[in-house]
């Protein structure tokens, strides 16, 4: 095993002094430089966050896909991905208007606002 110790830099106040250790079986430092592995690991957590947004918050906990056919399941997955993309696009545009980074906005708050706007004015959000 190989243990990589590193510190995040350039983050907000909550991450500035955080120390991390990454344990890996990628032993060759020439093929797998420590800085590259640390950066890839951080990217992995970005992807995990997206999965959490879709599976836990957008779709809902313990909710399963209801389709009975492979085509129906694919259609539901695409629908979830399109809604997620639309919400993230909204967050990006909102952040740009206010001059802040999109990752400073809450996905959950955006989702709640979108749900409120759709239920408060049915039919205004065309399919």
Predicted local confidence at residue 121, as pLDDT: 67
DSSP class per residue in 72-126: HHHHHHHHHHHHHHHHHHHHHHHHHHHTS-GGGS-HHHHHHHHHHHHHHSTTSS-
pLDDT at 125 over 60: no
Mean pLDDT, residues 108-117 taken together: 92
Q: What values do phi and psi take at 39, rounded to 5? A: -65, -40
Q: What is the pLDDT of residues 60-89, one digit of tens each?
A: 878 888 888 999 999 999 999 999 999 999
**Residue 45: which pLDDT band, with cuts at 50, 70 and 90?**
confident
Predicted local confidence at residue 47, as pLDDT: 86
């Amino acid at each position: 095993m190989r243990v990589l110790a590193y510190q995040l830099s350039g983050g907000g106040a909550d991450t500035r002094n955080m120390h991390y250790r990454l344990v890996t079986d990628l032993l060759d430092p020439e093929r797998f430089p420590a800085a590259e592995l640390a950066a890839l690991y951080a990217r992995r957590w970005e992807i995990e966050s997206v999965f959490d947004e879709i599976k836990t918050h957008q779709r809902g906990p313990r909710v399963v896909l209801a389709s009975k056919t492979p085509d129906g399941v694919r259609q539901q997955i695409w629908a979830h991905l399109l809604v997620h993309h639309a919400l993230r696009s909204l967050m990006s545009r909102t952040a740009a208007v206010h001059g802040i980074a999109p990752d400073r906005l809450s996905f959950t708050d955006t989702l709640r606002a979108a749900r409120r706007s759709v239920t408060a004015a049915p039919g205004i959000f065309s399919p």
